[in-house]
Structure 1
């Protein structure tokens, strides 16, 4: 099972998750909020300490954060799996700097902190 943990209080993050749900036709991705009991249990079981403002990608023992999590998540979408060689060509320090720049500003640019309602056909994909 592939798990993508995201900040459910962020409209940009929610928008990304909705986009992923629409494009993940094979239903490879499962989602959880960073502040959920499920994610807390995952962190405890795996002895993880993860910043609460990062996208997290978990597939078996592979755990990716920040820009690498975005790349690994996009690789799961049919047609986008070829993006990783191009994205990984950029140095991680540069990718993560850009990621953190956006992450620091993402809540300031949102017009509301309301969490969107997930349509019933996708609810089974959330933990």
Structure 2
């Protein structure tokens, strides 16, 4: 899934979007994923992140750009400085950027990526059993609308 930094800017199928901050692409129909997006917005006191539901036209375009199945929105994507991270790498990076005890997530890098992503995939496959679907993506109303893309 490696692509050149900012490659989405020259992909005509990806609508232009503000990428001056990191963008987190998440499954907006999943209660666990939406909860993670809300947690990111709540704890991101330095406004480092924007969030984007994968179901949006931009989210789907980014999935296709990174050669992911836009019918299976289980992959968490972080786009930071034009580069994309996926699954556990993305989750660890976001946690580290949030600071506080979240930075301890960086310790997970000692676990081999294949094992981390296998655990990620297991949770992703079962996430809708754990917390079900939501009929609509629910984010924080008090958050600056500029931090929510899509």
TM-score, scaled to structure 1: 0.85
Paired residue secondary structure (1:121)? coil
Paired residue secondary structure (2:23)? strand
Offset of 1:20 from its aligned partner? 1.1
RMSD: 1.9
Offset of 1:43 from its aligned partner? 5.3
Q: Report matched runs for 1:34-49 at 5 Å.
A: 34-42=54-62, 47-49=65-67
Offset of 1:119 from its aligned partner? 0.7
How far apart, CA to CA, are the structure 2 residues paired with 1:97 and 1:81? 22
How far apart, CA to CA, are the structure 1 residues paired with 2:139 and 2:112? 37
Task: Say whether the 8 Å CA contact 1:32–1:126 is kept in structure 2.
Answer: yes
Task: Say whether the 8 Å CA contact 2:24–2:49 is kept in structure 1.
Answer: yes
Q: Report matched runs for 1:44-123 at 5 Å.
A: 47-51=65-69, 52-79=73-100, 80-81=102-103, 83-84=105-106, 86-115=107-136, 116-123=138-145
TM-score, scaled to structure 2: 0.73
Offset of 1:22 from its aligned partner? 1.2
Larger displacement relative to structure 2 (10-19 or 48-57): 48-57
Offset of 1:109 from its aligned partner? 2.0
Task: Say whether the 8 Å CA contact 2:38–2:139 is kept in structure 1.
Answer: no
Q: Which runs of 5+ in 1 are unaligned?
A: none
CA 1:63–1:112 in 2, change beyond 3 Å: closer, same or farther? closer
How far apart, CA to CA, are the structure 1 residues paired with 2:143 and 2:54? 22
CA 1:92–1:9 in 2, change beyond 3 Å: closer, same or farther? same
